[in-house]
Amino acid sequence: MQGFSDLSVWVEQVKTLCQPDRIHWVSGSKIEEKSFYDQLVSEQKAIQLNPLLRPNSYAFFSDASDVARVEKRTFIASNNESDAGPTNNWYEPKKLKEKMTSLYQGSMRGRTMYVMPYMMGPVEAPISKIGIEITDSLYVVVNMLKMTRVGDQVLKKIKHGATFIPGLHSVGAPLKENENDVSWPCAQMENKYIAHFPDERLIWSYGSGYGGNALLGKKCLALRIASKMAKDEGWMAEHMLILKITNPKGVYKYILGAFPSACGKTNLSMLIPTIPGWKVETIGDDIAWIWRKTDGKLYAINPEKGFFGVAKGTSYHSNPNAMKAIEKNTIFTNVALTDDLDIWWEGIDKEKPEHLTDWQQNDYDQSKDYPAAHPNSRFTVEATESSVLAKEWEDPNGVLVSAILVGGRRPSTIPLVHESLNWNHGVFMGSMMGSEITAATISDQIGIVRRDPFAMLPFIGYHVGDYLKHWIDMGSNVDESLLPKIYYVNWFRKDENGQFMWPGFGENSRVLKWIFERIEHQASAKLTPIGYVPDIDSLDLTNLDVSKEDIEALTYIDKNEWLEEAKSIRSYYETIGSKLPELLLSELNQLEERLLKS
């Protein structure tokens, strides 16, 4: 981490290396932001959407080679290879720096170098962190303005002694004199590098302009680097939503949720309950930073200032609150456009128009079976556009964590919800979570569970075994009653015909209500070998169109299926190696013993 005296030196070093035509320090003002959009539109790098239909909103379209996070080009360059562990791509730091330095040489010729001071987390929160991103992408700048706290107020904190995490980003497409730019400059895949140097608290990114590869405050700082900082400093950086749930009496609690992609994290964070009198508000939909205060309890903040959500499948049916939030002041990436310059994607409420411009900016061919919007199409919008944003979302003191949810897509075995026996058992539950591979993914591995501990598989900045040990440590030396219970939820159980047994979406509020009432010691549960499962009469099933047989199946624990699950977990644990905490192996052994005795 560096301070202000280092900042001007570093900026000068990057200028000398990358050779931009000019330097712009981003102030964060609205006037400046508007000028950026005007420039992007004039350079044909963005399309302004119809201001009558989608005010102050813009569409961007990436190169077909640059559409998502590139995990195979994402590296953890720890000083010791053993510190990266089996879940990361390790690269020797000196060699990686030599390789990337040669790529950075002259990489910003013909471009502007933007210097962005930004903060992750509320300005006065004790675990908030400051970053500096240097980039030659104006697309990155306008997205970071929505996703983080950018500008002069952050620079002022650095001038007054605050340290920062440096991040260097280039799209890797220098321009020759008088050469016309393309709408989405980027490098070829083999020259894309998203590099993290956790021991130095340093981020280097080259060749990609898309999402988490380029918005360095998001996955790079807020998870990969922050997770290592959190371990060293005694807090946690997690891939989790934060929601506030309030009952009809006005009593509220804060719940975290860790789910892999495509498991409904954003939908849950903005859920509209179907049970009368209950209310859900969002504090964050993607990342939570958690620390233990002197009272022994866990508190959390959302380090981000906006939502970078998957557009495809989002609708007024699946997530009406998200749709309301993106009605204006939104950046859309790789969606389809209608003739009247509005947005469209598969799964949106509107019927497919007769004519569309697809995400590659071609006339959409209705006769062919391909998506008009890219499956990873995105929207970027400030959190304040959400009508269900909780008033505490920027409280620097954080919010008290009452429960932590984990879960994935599991068509069998895992019940609708079960509660941990204690903190360490809850860490065991989080360590084994994952989703079952379907025929849509890898046909010869159908039914195999891809383990994704606490939904952090792509984001742990150090060894996964040390990461799980840190979870255990966060619950040690404290009264167990002060810690949140951990709940495994599964909205995706299927019947013998392959149909979902649980309706999901707003009906998930019934599970949240049971969890809320468990915390309040008001809901009953039966003790099973895997944890506490709801008594059926303790779930609020009023006016729910689900058969009694399905409800019984959703809460049934199949001993033989769980014994097979235990074998699968044991095989997964073997991949972690010698750093797997003994306590987790003990939890697995105890699970098998309880199953055999049941």
pTM score of the predicted model: 0.96
Q: Can you state the angle between helices 464-474 and 226-233, rounded to 10 degrees? A: 50
Tell whether 319 is covered by a domain: no
Q: Note the pLDDT of residue 80.
A: 97
CA–CA separation, 529 vs 531, rounded Å? 6
Tell whether 205 is covered by a domain: yes
Is the same domain home to 517 and 470? yes
Is the same domain home to 171 and 280? no
Is the same domain home to 165 and 141? yes
Pick from 98, 94, 91: nearest CA to 74? 91
Contacts of 202 (CB under 8 A, 6+ apart): 165, 166, 167, 196
Catalytic annotation, pick one of 18, 186, 220, 263: 263
Tell whether 243 is covered by a domain: yes
Output the DSSP codes for 316-351.
TTT-HHHHHHTSSSEEEES-EE-TTS-EE-TTSSSP
Hey, how many other C-beta atoms are within 10 angstroms of the C-beta on 339? Answer: 11
Is the same domain home to 225 and 252? no
Cβ atoms of residues 380 and 333 within 8 Å:
yes
Is the same domain home to 250 and 169? no
Tell whether 453 is covered by a domain: yes
Is the same domain home to 196 and 294? no
Is the same domain home to 183 and 247? no
CA–CA separation, 121 vs 140, rounded Å? 19
Tell whether 165 is covered by a domain: yes
Examine the residue annotation and report whether 220 is marked as an active-site residue of this protein. no
Tell whether 536 is covered by a domain: yes
Tell whether 351 is covered by a domain: no
Q: Note the pLDDT of residue 399.
A: 98
Chosen domain end from 185, 213, 233:
233
Q: Note the pLDDT of residue 264.
A: 83
Q: Note the pLDDT of residue 449.
A: 85
Q: Note the pLDDT of residue 325.
A: 97
Q: Could you tell me the residue range of the domain that residue 39 belongs to?
A: 4-45+73-233
Tell whether 571 is covered by a domain: no
Chosen domain end from 233, 254, 276:
233
Is the same domain home to 480 and 519? yes
Is the same domain home to 430 and 527? yes
Is the same domain home to 227 and 242? no
Is the same domain home to 220 and 280? no
Total of domains in the chain: 2
Contacts of 96 (CB under 8 A, 6+ apart): 75, 77, 193, 195
Contacts of 104 (CB under 8 A, 6+ apart): 17, 18, 168, 170, 206
Is the same domain home to 157 and 292? no
Looking up residue 139, the CATH number of its domain turns out to be 3.40.449.10
Looking up residue 508, the CATH number of its domain turns out to be 3.90.228.20
pLDDT, tens digit, 9 for 90 and up, residues 69-127: 898 999 999 999 999 999 999 999 999 999 999 999 999 999 999 999 999 999 999 99
Residue ranges in the chain modelled with pLDDT below 50: 438-444
